[in-house]
Amino acid sequence: MVLPTSVFSAIPPAEWIASNDVGFAILDRFPVTEGHSLIISHRVISTWWDATASEQAGLMALATRVKLILDGRFAPDGYNLGFNAGAAAGQTIDHLHIHLIPRRTGDVADPRGGVRYVIPERGNYLTEPTE
């Protein structure tokens, strides 16, 4: 039986910033902000919904550990946490990974809406819609 592989499978443990029994974390090679990290499942599965409940819990626990590491190393003011599931959502690597993106006050003019900006014109629901 041939097990599936991904580009993440080739990342050596020496590059991991944290790990547990269900996943590992690395600093993103194309960071949005300083400290942008990826929490990656050990098992090569496509999306969050392919993970077992135990894997999901373990990945969230790992995200919490990575957040504490980033707090100490980069002292951000906030975070965005999320994943892309499927090509329509922007997923380009077919292996479950969660983005943990440190945010800093002033990194954008108006951060309201946060992850809602995946569709920019709908990001800030507190402003009047444009036509």
Query: Which residues, other chains included, contact 1 with Cβ-Cβ below 8 Å and sequence gap of 6+?
Result: none
Query: Which residues, other chains included, contact 80 with Cβ-Cβ below 8 Å and sequence gap of 6+?
Result: 99, 100, 101, 103, 114, 115
Of the candidates 36, 95, 97, 99, the residue annotated as catalytic is 97
CB atoms within 10 A of CB 76: 18
Longest distance between any two alpha carbons in the chain, whole Å: 56
Instruction: Supply angle C-alpha 41, 90, 131, rounded to 5.
Output: 145
- Residue 97 known to be catalytic: yes
Active site amino acids:
97
